[in-house]
Amino acid sequence: MKLAIKEYWENLKVEYEATYNASIFSDYDVLKQYAERFRTYLITLMCEYSNDVDVACTLATVEQVLRDEKNSIELLEGFLEAYTNELSDTDKARIYTNLAFYYNDEGNIKEYDYLYAAVKLNSPYIETYRGLALYHFSAYREKGSAEDLKKSLRAFERGIIVSNDYEMNFGYAVCLFELKEYEKAKTTFEELLKDYPNRMRLLLSIAYCDVYLGYKDQAMNRLKQIKLGQDEQYKDKYYDSDIIHDFQVYEAYYVLGEYTLFLEECEKAKADCIVSGPPYYFALWLNNQHDYFKKEIAEKREELILSLEETKVDEDFSSEEEKQNCIKSWEEDIKDLDILVYKIKNENFIPILELQLWPEYGCYLIDCLIHNL
């Protein structure tokens, strides 16, 4: 059945690409017409083969493509309820992982429950472990929990057993870095670099490890090799996961204590974005750019005061309590700015900046039309 489904979808893609001379995923409005045709075909199959896992999972995916994930969830949960006694553990792990993806909405606990259920069944799918690792890493970023970070590390470890690929190994090394195990993280990044030479994301990650290991010269050399923007050599067809932003480089210069170089890179970045914050203000003051420091602080204070005054006359709040809390927040921001200025000028205060790495965030839907069908 899987081959028949794949062949039907491939024929639709060929027809689309011959007609429009573009990928079937390049225009959603047209894709929608083809996805609806695919759905009609799958519904017909579902009527004849109601207990077929391939049909159910693919139909759920098409519902998701048509932006109705509620139907995807209802279909697969209903399928599980109807045929649970007939399904193998592998089939259940597949469905659980897909359901987790559909529940992937700001830490929905059902996402975790389904992923954990799939892991307990020794899921053979790399997507299960990718999803679980990313779930825990996101929880770590949100709550700062070392336990969540360790769980993410363990999920990446299990994923490596299933598929010893770049994404799993990179995520594993990122967790080591965040756990401050810089030597171990660097070793893994360097091993990956052998297979992915000159990959900018890896060069940046190794440089970050060198920063915290105290290898300043090595870190500086790595940072100067990094090209900003999309890494064209490793550009993914569907994701912009290998884009290096300017702040990721100049923040490393700050942590290294290279404040002049940090400011130079900040000035370059201003062409594309707003640069502000405690490290920037501190570097200006330390480098005796006092007039510019005062100008930047004055502009920031004016910005905060304007936001405060706009909030005071804003009538769109759902309650007076919400409005007062927002006013209080702006007032605290202004007070914090004044305290920061005093500490920088009078107490030799050095703002702390922590370098951060993130794993590759991507799709973990097993039956994804884009990646797996």
Chain segment 303-324, per-residue pLDDT in tens:
999 999 999 999 899 999 999 9
Is the pLDDT reported for residue 12 higher than 90? no
For residue 279, which amino acid is it? P
The sign one gets for the Cα dihedral 246, 247, 250, 256 is negative
For residue 322, which amino acid is it? E
Rounded Cα distance between 326 and 169, Å, is: 43
Could you give the percent of the chain with pLDDT greater than 70? 98
Distance between alpha carbon 28 and the CA centroid of its chain, in Å?
A: 23
Distances 242 to 177, 297, 359 between C-alpha atoms, Å: 18, 34, 11
By CB atoms closer than 10 A (0-12, 13-18, 19+), residue 252 is buried
DSSP 118: H
Rounded Cα distance between 148 and 133, Å, is: 9
Higher pLDDT, 17 or 95: 95
Sequence-separated contacts (24+) of 68-76 with Cβ below 8 Å: 69/102, 72/98, 72/102, 73/99, 73/102, 73/103, 76/102
Closest listed residue to residue 128, CA positions, set 138, 139, 118: 118
Chain segment 51-102, per-residue pLDDT in tens:
999 999 999 999 999 998 899 999 999 999 999 999 999 999 999 999 999 9
Rounded Cα distance between 123 and 366, Å, is: 11
**In the numeric block, which tokens belong to residue 321?**
């309590």
DSSP 243: E
Chain segment 212-266, per-residue pLDDT in tens:
999 999 999 999 999 999 888 887 755 667 889 999 999 999 999 999 999 999 9
The predicted structure's pLDDT at residue 272: 80
362 pLDDT band, cuts 50/70/90, is: confident
Q: Are 156 and 163 in contact (CB under 8 A)?
A: no
Cβ atoms < 10 Å from Cβ of 124: 13
Closest listed residue to residue 246, CA positions, set 220, 264, 221, 219: 264
Q: Are 137 and 148 in contact (CB under 8 A)?
A: yes
Contacts with 343 (C-beta within 8 Å, 6 or more apart), sequence order: 349
Contacts with 323 (C-beta within 8 Å, 6 or more apart), sequence order: 311, 314, 317
- Three-state DSSP at 262 gives helix
Is the pLDDT reported for residue 106 higher than 70? no
The predicted structure's pLDDT at residue 161: 96
107 pLDDT band, cuts 50/70/90, is: low
271 pLDDT band, cuts 50/70/90, is: confident
Q: Are 336 and 141 in contact (CB under 8 A)?
A: no
The predicted structure's pLDDT at residue 240: 63
Mean pLDDT computed over every residue of the chain: 93
